[in-house]
Amino acid sequence: MKVAGEAMRTIWLEPDGRTVGIIDQTRLPFRYETAALSDLAAMATAITTMQVRGAPLIGAAAAYGMALAMRPDAADGGVEDGDVERAHARLLATRPTAVNLRWALDRMREVLLLTPPSDRLDRAYAEAAAIADEDVEICRSIGRHGLHLIRAAHLRNPDRPVRVLTHCNAGWLATVDWGTATAPLYLAHEAGIPLHVWVDETRPRNQGAFLTAWELGQHGVPHAVIPDNTGGHLMQHGLVDLVIVGTDRTTAKGDVANKIGTYLKALAARDNDVPFYVALPSSTIDWTLEDGVQGIPIEERSGDEVALITGLAGHGGLETVRLVPEGSAVVNYAFDVTPARLVTGLITERGVCSPEDLAQLFPDHQPPAAMGRVPVNDE
């Protein structure tokens, strides 16, 4: 997608072919800054602090983190089996909910352990680049499938924009390009279908207000930021045609973990007969789990994300202010789980399906026993 008219991905290789470039998402929308990461520790920190975030981008970033770890010149680098395992463990510990992280790391480990140590550095960069390129194509396919839903909504009411509500940022900033929930929106916009996007602000980190609004604005897609509690009201008054969100982990039976507050939107959508869609690449499906409420680990983050907020002050500098009294306890669950029964459809790279048809759409998915650790040497 584009920043100030220039085509960009969210992750790239710098001209030296080894250093990894990222957009520092903790600075948006007030500052557009990039960062150059040259070792494993820097990538692990970038994921933990959410300089890079969003399930598919976390996967691609972790893959590049494995490549950085193969650099013999980096302090934490090395190409032996133990180095591969250490890098895998270090990156896996960065964030617990988005399963794309484990998917990408397992794929990198499998490839690297099957490669002679002397070739591992180049192989790691090639595989990380393949993961990033695949993500772009997958998101484009999600967009094409989701476009049909938006076109159908437009044909039902051709005299007004299609009103889509989204939560958090499942946009191109959360992937390598296009986004998941936003890919159908960008394609619809390109196709000339009039749109209006309701952007949940998505407290506490404001990924909607900060990131989704910024990227939709960069592409000229009409939108309005709404407080998180507004969606139910809009749906009751017939102002939402469909909801499209992303996901960090979807179980085999279609339970969906996504940014905290998604579940409440799904409940409101069901109560008001508004279709509730979830857009996802298949790397977000955890085939080992059925029950998401019991099985998906929910990340708990620092209370400071709730108690403090950073914004642009009148003097043009960034300022952090406190919103919660000193001494009040704060609880900050980053995700919640929407049960499959509330999900109208899953928009995947292979098409749109109901949650119960997910396994049929991916008959080639890895059975649970095949997932996870790759045997090392003669184990």
Ligand X SMILES: CSC[C@@H](O)[C@@H](O)C(=O)COP(=O)(O)O
| 207 annotated as a binding-site residue | yes
**Residue 245, φ and ψ in degrees, nearest 5:** -125, 170
Structure tokens at 166: 């989204």
Structure tokens at 22: 């990222």
Q: Which is nearer to ligand X, 78 or 281 (CB)?
A: 281
Minimum distance, C-beta of residue 149 to ligand X, in the bound complex (Å): 17
| 54 annotated as a binding-site residue | yes
Minimum distance, C-beta of residue 17 to ligand X, in the bound complex (Å): 28
Measured on CA atoms in the order 50, 52, 55, 59, is the torsion positive or negative? negative
* Catalytic residue from among 83, 228, 248, 255: 248
Cβ atoms of 29 and 38 within 8 Å: the answer is no
Q: Which is nearer to ligand X, 79 or 346 (CB)?
A: 346
| 345 annotated as a binding-site residue | no
Minimum distance, C-beta of residue 151 to ligand X, in the bound complex (Å): 22
Neighbour-count burial for 30-46, b at 16+ CB within 10 Å, e otherwise: eeeeebebbbbbbbbeb
- Compute the distance between CA of residue 315 and CA of residue 312 in angstroms, rounded to an integer: 8
Minimum distance, C-beta of residue 349 to ligand X, in the bound complex (Å): 13
Mind spelling out the 3-state secondary structure of 288-310?
CCCCHHHHCCCCECCCHHHHEEE
Active site residue 248: yes
User: What residue is closest to ligand X based on CB?
Assistant: 246
Minimum distance, C-beta of residue 285 to ligand X, in the bound complex (Å): 13
Chain residues binding ligand X by CB under 6 A are 53-56, 98, 168, 170, 174-175, 179-180, 207, 246-248, 258-259, 334
DSSP bridge pairs for 35: 22
Q: What is the largest CA-CA distance in the chain?
A: 66
Q: Which is nearer to ligand X, 77 or 171 (CB)?
A: 171
Minimum distance, C-beta of residue 276 to ligand X, in the bound complex (Å): 14
Q: Which is nearer to ligand X, 125 or 277 (CB)?
A: 277
Minimum distance, C-beta of residue 297 to ligand X, in the bound complex (Å): 13
Q: Which is nearer to ligand X, 115 or 247 (CB)?
A: 247
Q: Which is nearer to ligand X, 38 or 51 (CB)?
A: 51
Q: Which residue has the tokens 């983050």?
A: 301
Give 268's contacts (C-beta < 8 A, 6+ positions apart).
231, 232, 235, 274
**Selection from 330, 331, 334, 326 nearest residue 297 by Cα:** 334
| 258 annotated as a binding-site residue | yes
Q: Are strands 256-259 and 249-251 parallel, antiparallel or unpaired?
A: antiparallel
Q: Which is nearer to ligand X, 175 or 344 (CB)?
A: 175
| 206 annotated as a binding-site residue | no
| 55 annotated as a binding-site residue | yes
Q: Helices marked H in the chain — which ranges? A: 40-48, 55-69, 81-92, 100-113, 120-156, 183-190, 213-218, 231-236, 262-271, 292-295, 304-307, 358-361
In whole angstroms, how far apart are CA 374 and each of 91, 94, 369?
Answer: 16, 20, 11
**Selection from 344, 337, 348 nearest residue 282 by Cα:** 348
Q: Which residues are annotated as a binding site for substrate?
A: 53-55, 95, 207, 258-259
Q: Which residues are annotated as a binding site?
A: 53-55, 95, 207, 258-259
Residues acting as catalytic residues: 248
